[in-house]
Structures are given as structure tokens and as C-alpha cells.
Amino acid sequence: MDPEILRSSFAVVERRAEFAVKYFYAHLFRHNPGVRGLFPLDFPEDMERQRDRLFAALTHVVARLGDPALAGYLGDLGRDHRKYLAEPEHYAAVGTSLIAAFAAVAGSAWNTEVEKTWAEAYTTVMDAMLQGAWQAENDGEPPWWDAEVVARRRFGDDLVVLTLRPDRQLRYFPGQYASVNSPHLPGIWRPYSLGNAPRPDHTVDLHISHVAEGVLSTALVRQTRQGDLLRLGAPGGRLTLRTPAERPITFIAAGTGWAPVKALLEQLEQAERLDPAQERAPYDSRLFVVARDLAYVYDREAIEELQARLPRLVVTFITPAPGRPKAQATDRLLTALGNRANWAQHDVYLAGPPKLVEEIGDALPSLGTLPERIFHDLLPPTGQAETRPLGAAEWLLDRPQPSWHNPASREPGP
């Protein structure tokens, strides 16, 4: 399997990405009609998102050929795909259609040697994903957890916190997320961070903000009630606490990014309660809570309780000035961060909208934070995606971010 052949041929295909993914799905569904049932039938925007996810994942794999971490990524992907009821024959069908699509768009760059190399590469990918799926099944992990909504708290018109009780224990680390599905919307899964450290009663919180035209977020915020059943996929993500006790931490939580940060703070509080001598010295740890408007600063009671239990935690709320656009919150956050010192001593945990996370993550090294001490997950938006490129040229100018797993983790998970 020659990586250079894969990269050079994929570069040609990538320039015709829009046509390639349309050809792929048309070929797949024509030759394997039964596979169509694994995809949403009633929501065209989800088919578009699925196309983007496919090519983003392929880009990730090709860019990391030879990376030892790639096998773990593929194994996690296979584990996650069990919730779609993906079977080995589905993987084989996908491989056949993928190679057919590449051959259709690659033109003179495609030949027998290229096809053989791609067939070998896909077999390797398929084997790694199937191994991940097999391992999860062998460990007794279900494809998903059925979870009853046991409590619902509403904050304003557009945000709810749902407390779920899974039908069996969901094992996860604070800071991780799980994909969520409503049985009324088959095939529609979205990732939401788990908003608490593990509890004795095994319940979990989901912080859900309504997004215009977001199919699942609308159902969860507007329609879901206590007693309803939802499904949870396997936990994932690597925004997990990895900071030694003697090092201070800065947490930055924007919007419902408060959910994973809250879980991390609960873990921190539990650790310090068990061992009060483990103070985070010589500097205080910091929490910045960012919202697009004062009305969207929610869960204040929980923030105050955590601050009381973590006396060395300094909390700062950041919102735009009254009447100013919501984007001003980012500017005010950058100003507040610039007014703080000792960034070289801090680990930083970031959670919130992808654009804000990217902007703040890029700015922190200029303040003195070491890049390897900045932790965040790249999660896809939980609702309607941004306007998608309309053609191959626009794809190249504004390529979508990978949006179905978390390939950008900086360190191995726990």
C-alpha cells in the first residue's frame, strides 16, 4: 500500500469532491437498496451533512497515513457506527461504491495500480473499524443506551437541561460527550456533552440549546418531556482532566460549553474533597463563563455552589455590553484573558461554539500558554450546519471541518 499513490490520487478526487460524494451515494443506493434504510429518509439536510462527513473523514485518514494513532481513531469510529446498525456487508458495499466514485471522477489519474492501492487501503480501514466494533461488542457494550428523561429544567425559551437515566450504566469520563437520538427521528444523531461527573444513581445531564432549523434540537427543546425515552451512543471525546494537582487551570465555557466544563469542575471538586492537601498552588484557577447575552447566562446556582466548594476558583462572567452584537462577547473575553497573568503555568480547557474555540485557542499561545496545554474537542454543530459549499470550487475555498468524530485531540484519551 503506497501512501504517495493514495495521496496523489485523492488530491485529484478532492478537487471534484461534490460530484464524487453524489456519485458515491447514488452508486451505493442503486446497487444496495437495503442500505438506504440506514440513512435519514425525510431530512435532505441530513443527507447533505452525511456527505460532508464522509469526505471529511476520508481527508482525515489520508492526511494521517502512517500515524500510529490512526488505528485507534478508526477503532473508535467502528465502535461508534454500531448505533447505525452497520454490519460487515455494509462496509463491503461502501468500499465498492467508494472506489467506483473515485474511478468516475479521477479521470486519467486512475489506473489499475491506483485501484489496487485504494482497495488495499480500504480493506485496512474496514478491518480496523470492524475490530473496534467487535471489541465493543465483546466488552458487552450495547450499540446504544435507552435512557428515560427523569427531569427537565428550562432556561428561557431556547435552552433545556434534560436529566436522563440510562437503562444500564453509561461509563464515561467527565468532559466527554455522547451522541443522542430520539426514536421518533430514526437515523438522526447529534453529539451533546455530558454535563456532570458520574453520579451514584448513574443519571446524566444534557444541556441543549435550540438551533433554528435543527431537527433534533427542536424536538429535544420543544417537545421532549419527563418520561420520554431517548437513545445515547457510546461516549467519546478527549476533553478529559489530565492536569497534575500542583498546576493551575483555566476553564473557558461559552454557551452550552458549560456542560463539559461543569463535569470537569465536579471531578476537580470531588478530588480535592477526597484530598484537601492537593491545592492548586501557587496561582488560583480560573473560570470564564461566556454568553451571547446576559439572559443566556444560565445555571448560576450550580456555578455558585461549585465556586463555594472550590474556594481557589475565580469566576468571571463575560457578555456583550447591553444592546451590542453577540460577537462582542468574544472581544471582551480576549480582553479579559489579556488582563490575566501567569499563562505559562496554566492548562486551559476550552468548550463552546467551534468558531470561538478556534479563535481563543489561536490567541492563547500569544499570552504565554503552551500549545500542548490547550485542550478542547472539535464537535460538530448540534443543529443546522452553516451554508454548505455549492460546488467543487467553493469546497476548496471553504472546506467543511471534519464533523462526526473528534480527530483533533492532542493527547491519547484516558
Instruction: Find the helix packing angle between 44-63 and 3-14, rounded to 10°.
Output: 150
- Cell triple for residue 389? 459549499
Pick the CATH number of 3-138 from 1.10.490.10, 1.10.3720.10, 2.30.30.40, 1.20.190.20: 1.10.490.10
Q: Are 256 and 207 in contact (CB under 8 A)?
A: yes
Q: Specify the residue for cell string 500549545.
A: 371
pLDDT of residue 313: 92
Among candidate residues 173, 152, 151, 177, the one with its CA nearest the CA of residue 232: 177
Bridge partners, residue 204, by sequence: 164
Would you kindly state where each structural domain of the chain is located, as residue ranges?
3-138, 145-232, 249-376
Q: How confident is the prediction along the chain (414 residues), in pLDDT tens digits per residue?
A: 688 999 899 889 888 887 888 899 889 999 998 887 776 645 555 556 666 677 777 888 888 888 888 888 899 889 988 998 888 999 999 999 999 999 999 999 999 999 999 999 999 999 999 999 999 999 999 999 999 999 999 998 899 999 999 999 999 999 999 999 998 888 788 899 999 999 999 999 999 999 887 889 999 999 999 999 999 999 988 899 999 888 999 999 999 999 999 999 999 999 878 776 665 555 679 999 999 888 789 999 999 999 999 988 999 999 998 878 888 899 999 999 999 999 999 999 999 998 899 999 999 999 999 999 999 986 444 333 334 444 445 544 555 544 333 333 333 333
Instruction: Report H helices in 285-353.
Output: 300-309, 328-338
pLDDT of residue 278: 62
Among candidate residues 299, 150, 143, 145, the one with its CA nearest the CA of residue 224: 150
Strand order in the sheet with 285-290: 313-318, 285-290, 249-254, 347-351, 374-375
pLDDT of residue 157: 87
Instruction: Report H helices in 36-192.
Output: 44-63, 70-80, 88-106, 112-138
Q: How far is CA 270 from CA 5, 193, 306, 326, 413, in A?
A: 52, 19, 11, 34, 20
In whole angstroms, give the CA distance from residue 22 to residue 52: 10
- Cell triple for residue 345? 503555568
**Predicted TM-score (pTM) of this structure:** 0.82
- CATH level 3 topology of 145-232: Elongation Factor Tu (Ef-tu); domain 3 (2.40.30)
Q: Are 178 and 172 in contact (CB under 8 A)?
A: yes
Instruction: Find the helix packing angle between 70-80 and 112-138, rounded to 10°.
Output: 60
Name the E strands within 157-299. 159-166, 177-181, 190-193, 204-209, 229-232, 249-254, 285-290
Q: Are 167 and 147 in contact (CB under 8 A)?
A: yes
Q: Are 296 and 156 in contact (CB under 8 A)?
A: yes
- CATH level 3 topology of 249-376: Rossmann fold (3.40.50)
pLDDT of residue 412: 32
- Cell triple for residue 111? 489506473
- Cell triple for residue 15? 478537487
The CA angle 165-169-173, to the nearest 5 degrees, is 100
